[in-house]
Amino acid sequence: MRNLKEVGFLSVKRLASADLDMIEQKIRPSGFYHQKAARLKGACTAIESNGGLDEVFSLSERRLYQLLISINGIGRETADSIILYGAGKPALVVDNYTWRIVSRLYGSKVRYDYSALKSELEEKTRRSVRLYRNMHAQFVELGKKYCTKNNPKCVECPISKMCDYQKNRR
């Protein structure tokens, strides 16, 4: 980011028109720089060709999601993160922490389908940017502190009483 900033590339417009080799050079320390540079430039070009960032962020959530998901390198979780944090619109982000925690909480009742889990969580909650950002942060925190990939700390976990995984361990 510092490298990009130094050459004034921290803007969608500039990145869209920048030379690919130059972007590669600047982001080289982040690894996978060939692929990342091409995707970064491609995403910025797509945004520019749709009227620029302000125009794109003023689209409805649904249209914004469709546009983002059509861009090479942007998956569902990234699209929802851009909508929630970039555009400031209520999109619930389902990341690895969310999957792990929800699947342990509800066990076999959880279907491994991004859209299905997202819709289910959205149905159960008020649509709110603040709430969704908070939920995302809480899932990350819980996943890092207690519900770790290996050896989850169920005894100390604040939601252990409602967790299938913990009940089945006893």
Shortest spacing between CB 157 and ligand SF4, in angstroms: 3
CB count within 10 Å of CB 141 equals: 12
Shortest spacing between CB 124 and ligand SF4, in angstroms: 17
Distance in angstroms (rounded) separating the CA atoms of residues 66 and 75: 11
Structural contact between residues 53 and 12, judged by C-beta atoms closer than 8 angstroms = yes
Residue type, 45: T
* DSSP character at residue 62: H
Nearest-5° angle of CA 32, CA 93, CA 81?
50
Between 63 and 153, whose beta carbon lies closer to ligand SF4? Answer: 153
CB count within 10 Å of CB 34 equals: 11
- In the structure encoding, which two tokens stand for residue 82, read together? 């851009």
Shortest spacing between CB 79 and ligand SF4, in angstroms: 27
Distance in angstroms (rounded) separating the CA atoms of residues 124 and 34: 41
Shortest spacing between CB 104 and ligand SF4, in angstroms: 4
Residues that bind ligand SF4 (CB under 6 A): 101, 104-105, 146-147, 152-154, 157, 159-160, 163, 165-166
Distance in angstroms (rounded) separating the CA atoms of residues 166 and 16: 50
Between 114 and 146, whose beta carbon lies closer to ligand SF4? Answer: 146
Between 82 and 117, whose beta carbon lies closer to ligand SF4? Answer: 117
- In the structure encoding, which two tokens stand for residue 5, read together? 């900033």
Between 47 and 163, whose beta carbon lies closer to ligand SF4? Answer: 163
Shortest spacing between CB 159 and ligand SF4, in angstroms: 5
Between 90 and 152, whose beta carbon lies closer to ligand SF4? Answer: 152
